[in-house]
Amino acid sequence: MVCETDFDVPVTFPVIDISLLSSEDELQKLSSVLRSCGCFQVIGHGISVEFLDKVREVAQQFFALPVEEKQKYSRAPNEAEGYGGDLVVSEDQVKDCCYRLSLRVFPEDQRRMHLWPENPADLGKTLHEYALKIRSVISDLSKVMARLLELEENSFLNQFGDRPALEAKFNFYPPCSRPEVFGAKPHLDRSGITVLLQDKEVEGLQVLVDGTWRTVPVIPHALVVNLGGLMQVMTNGMFKSPLHRVLTNASKLRMSVAVFDEPEAEKEIGPVDHLVNHTRPRLYRSVRNFTAFNYECFQKGKNSLEELRI
């Protein structure tokens, strides 16, 4: 699996050991992939494979419930949170073959508890614990990324405010025998950083690298990191947010759990001042409510980052 960096050095979707980020080699590997693909896998995150399996298990148990049970947590029209299939926004839309359960986990006082499944009984507790661990992975990565650009380590975290959000999305892709249908159409994430727990066996995630869709391999104990559009904006284009998609599989179902960080509502996010200068002029306008903007662009078939370009 090969992609070209800015400097024409071929790299794979690297596996980064984040417990080794004091080592120059590991930092270089990270720096190179952030500047080229924006997608990599992380080990050394301190989360046991048993716990990752527990997260997969509660997801699997929820999706295996009868439809009537899952529909107790249905997403309301025009709402982002809750359970449901792909949103229908136009008549000619080909729906993604995916059921999703989306929940805001942090800040805790913004949880909409009526949408949190009671069955399986330990889903809530498991999600809470998992989100705490992922929040710390995101925060560590965010600081290392700032340092790689010679910025103060909280430069990205500060932009998100004192009460940033963390959203979890459980994705369930049933087997689908229509290859023209996606599990998830090509999109950019609305986050700063997305951390994805892939299915333990079934591949499906692809990332666009230099015009070619590359499959992200399954590594059961690793977490996939995709940079979201906001990181590309904050770094003034130094780090890349990858376009990615999910293919369907005719015979096997697939699951994944994505966690996204988001700024406090109404926070304006823009390129960090230190990354704008006369050799590297400002590339992006600042943006509020990037989640809504990104989604609107996606529905219109536009690339949100291109739309923000000055």
Ligand X SMILES: O=C(O)CCC(=O)C(=O)O
Q: Pick one of 86, 189, 199, 262: the residue that binds Fe ion (CB under 5 A).
A: 189
Is 171 a residue that touches ligand X (CB under 6 A)? Answer: yes
Strands 39-43 and 15-17, bridge-based pairing: parallel
* Candidate residues 29, 35, 244, 267; the one interacting with ligand X per rule CB under 6 A: 244
**Token pair for residue 86?**
């792909």
Q: Which is nearer to ligand X, 70 or 143 (CB)?
A: 70
* Residues that contact Fe ion, how many (by CB under 5 A): 1
Q: Which CB sits closer to ligand X, 155 or 171?
A: 171
Is 84 or 204 the residue whose CB approaches ligand X more closely?
Answer: 204
- Pick from 158, 136, 154: which is nearest to 145 by CA? 154
State how far the alpha carbon of 142 is from the alpha carbons of 129, 231, 234, 308, in Å: 20, 9, 11, 22
**Out of ligand X, Fe ion, none, which partner does residue 171 contact, by CB within 5 to 8 A per kind?**
ligand X
Q: Which two tokens stand for residue 77?
A: 């029209």
Minimum CB separation from ligand X for residue 72, in Å? 22
φ/ψ (deg, to 5) at 169: -130, 115
End-to-end alpha carbon distance in the chain = 33
CB of 190 to ligand X, least distance (A): 9
Residue 291 sits in the site that holds ligand X (CB under 6 A): no
232 near ligand X, rule: CB under 6 A: no
Closest approach of ligand X to the CB of residue 170, in Å: 9
Provide the minimum distance between the beta carbon of 57 and Fe ion in the complex, in angstroms, as a whole number: 22
Helices (H), ranges, the chain: 24-36, 49-63, 67-70, 123-148, 155-159, 229-234, 290-299, 304-308
Q: Which two tokens stand for residue 136?
A: 């710390």
Under the binding rule (CB under 6 A), the answer on residue 231 touching ligand X is: no
Return the one option of ligand X, Fe ion, none that residue 38 interacts with (CB less than 5 to 8 A, by type).
none
Residue of 115, 127, 148, 184 that binds ligand X (CB under 6 A): 184
Supply the minimum distance, in Å, between the C-beta of residue 244 and Fe ion. 6
CB within 8 A of 165, min separation 6: which ones? 104, 106, 107, 110, 261, 262, 263, 264
Nearest to 42 by CA among 156, 189, 196, 147: 196
Q: Which two tokens stand for residue 184?
A: 């998830």
Give the interface with ligand X as residue ranges (CB under 6 A). 169, 171, 184, 189, 196, 198, 204-205, 244, 246, 256, 258
Q: Which residues bind Fe ion (CB under 5 A)?
A: 189
